[in-house]
């Protein structure tokens, strides 16, 4: 029995992606911090397809030992797709940002994603059909004012994943690495980024996608042979693309 792992599945893009994969009959391992929301998601999944097996694993991925513990707890499962969706943002100038929040954001957006990606690559690089999808952002390709540090974390995600995709390809690995880069999306992202209790996208954002629309884009990326799925920040059209960052293959550039 094969599974799809989705981190940060309790809300937003992760939540809707779980529903999308369930509609394709995929068994799911869902992880987040909030158990009640994951239980609600499991109920919604079984309304779509009661034959889908859903496993819930609680973890705070901003804590490194919980990252390792999560992966170790999933060793018994056969994982055909791993989606690193967990993450959060911050809107402040660098001089004004809360460093405790920034430390947590760096651990979640970058450290946890890198650890989980690395462990998955070690175990599944030669497994046919395996996919690793990391969720970045349009802010992983364009620096946004008053979100410099957040964008930097997503530049890392984009560059790391694109580079990994090309590294795997150069080695003839079966595993495919891909990166999804949303633009503004109606989720809990704004509340946590701005540290507010509520946020109206209709009133404050001129253009955005719903989490369900982004989950549909996720499925387009999953079904494609491309590495990057990115929302154009001007037109808000979704495009599937080859890697965007330059990649220097040392084996091709060496004198030997």
Cα 8 to Cα 11: distance, rounded to the nearest angstrom: 7
Res. 82: pLDDT tops 70: yes
Whether pLDDT at 255 is above 60: no
pLDDT at 256: 40
- Select the more confidently predicted residue: 9 or 205: 9
The runs of H, that is alpha helices, within the chain are 12-23, 35-48, 64-73, 99-106, 113-124, 148-170, 189-194, 201-204, 211-223, 250-253
Helix, strand and coil in the chain, % to nearest 5: 45, 20, 35
User: What is the predicted pLDDT for the residue at 187?
Assistant: 84
Span 240-253, pLDDT tens digits = 999 999 999 876 65
% of the chain at pLDDT higher than 90: 88
Q: What does the pLDDT look like over 203-222, one tens digit per residue?
A: 888 899 999 999 999 999 99
What is the average pLDDT across 76-81?
98
What is the predicted pLDDT for the residue at 253? Answer: 56
Q: Which domains does the chain have, with CATH numbers?
A: 2-253 (3.40.50.720)
Q: What is the largest CA-CA distance in the chain?
A: 60
pLDDT at residue 25, rounded to an integer: 96
């Amino acid at each position: 029995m094969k599974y799809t792992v989705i981190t940060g599945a309790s809300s937003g893009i992760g939540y809707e992606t779980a529903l999308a994969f369930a509609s394709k009959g995929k068994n799911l391992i869902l992880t987040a911090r909030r158990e009640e929301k994951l239980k609600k998601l499991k109920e919604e999944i079984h309304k779509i397809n009661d034959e889908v097996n859903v496993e819930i694993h609680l973890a705070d991925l901003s804590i490194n030992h919980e990252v390792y513990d999560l992966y170790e707890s999933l060793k018994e499962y056969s994982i055909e797709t791993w989606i690193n969706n967990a993450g959060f943002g911050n809107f402040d100038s660098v001089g004004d940002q809360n460093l405790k929040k920034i430390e947590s954001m760096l651990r979640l957006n970058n450290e946890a994603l890198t650890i989980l990606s690395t462990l998955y690559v070690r175990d599944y690089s030669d497994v046919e059909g395996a996919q690793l999808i990391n969720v970045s952002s349009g802010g992983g390709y364009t620096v946004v004012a008053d979100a410099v540090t957040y964008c930097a974390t997503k530049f890392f995600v984009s560059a790391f994943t694109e580079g990994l995709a090309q590294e795997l390809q150069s080695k003839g690995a079966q595993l495919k690495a891909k990166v999804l880069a949303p633009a503004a999306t109606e989720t809990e992202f704004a509340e946590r980024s701005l540290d507010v209790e509520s946020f109206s996208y209709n009133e404050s954002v001129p253009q955005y996608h719903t989490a369900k629309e982004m989950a549909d884009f996720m499925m387009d990326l999953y079904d494609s042979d491309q590495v990057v799925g990115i929302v154009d920040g001007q037109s808000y059209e979704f495009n599937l693309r080859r890697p965007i960052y330059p990649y220097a293959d040392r084996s091709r550039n060496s004198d030997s």
